[in-house]
Amino acid sequence: MLKLPVFLIFIVMFSCNHKIYSPLSYEGEMLEWGTGGGFTGAVKSYCVLDNGFYFKSDDNGKTYLEMGKMKKSEVRQFFDNYKKLGLSSMVLNEPGNRYYFISLKSAKSEHKLLWGKKELENKVPSILHKNLMKAIQADNQ
């Protein structure tokens, strides 16, 4: 009989241990990417925090749904690629009817790349965008 209360206390202790994160209030770095435009103008975005948790938003970033957690090494690689491949110093604001975007955000700043009007000469933003999409699709299978 004593085992049941001890077991319940153990479960309560560990269930309260999960911290809830949100891109809306997170103070670390985050990468956000997605697509928008077209006939409906809808925007679908994804966001990965530097701690590995990633989210999906279907309402232009007003609310986010937690989707899972990536490996820290994979997340670090995405953040490093954004910085080391020169995306953080690139200026790209050429949306088309259908557009793509990637942004690096922190509590103090945001750097956003937006394209879709024409074929990119520098394919790095598009490649990173595709790799981010593959990472979350692979994680959800």
Q: What is d(CA 89, CA 113) in angstroms, rounded to the nearest whole number? A: 10
Average pLDDT over residues 10-16: 54
Q: What is d(CA 18, CA 73) in angstroms, rounded to the nearest whole number? A: 21
pLDDT in tens, 62-101: 899 999 999 999 999 999 999 999 999 999 999 989 999 9
Would the pLDDT of 13 be above 90? Answer: no
Two tokens, residue 8: 């319940």
26 CB-near residues (< 8 Å, 6+ apart): 49
Q: What is the reported pLDDT for 50?
A: 95
Average pLDDT over residues 1-22: 59
Give this prediction's pTM: 0.81
pLDDT in tens, 58-70: 888 889 999 999 9
When the pLDDT of each residue in the chain is averaged and rounded to a whole number, the result is 86
What percent of the chain is modeled with pLDDT above 90? Answer: 62
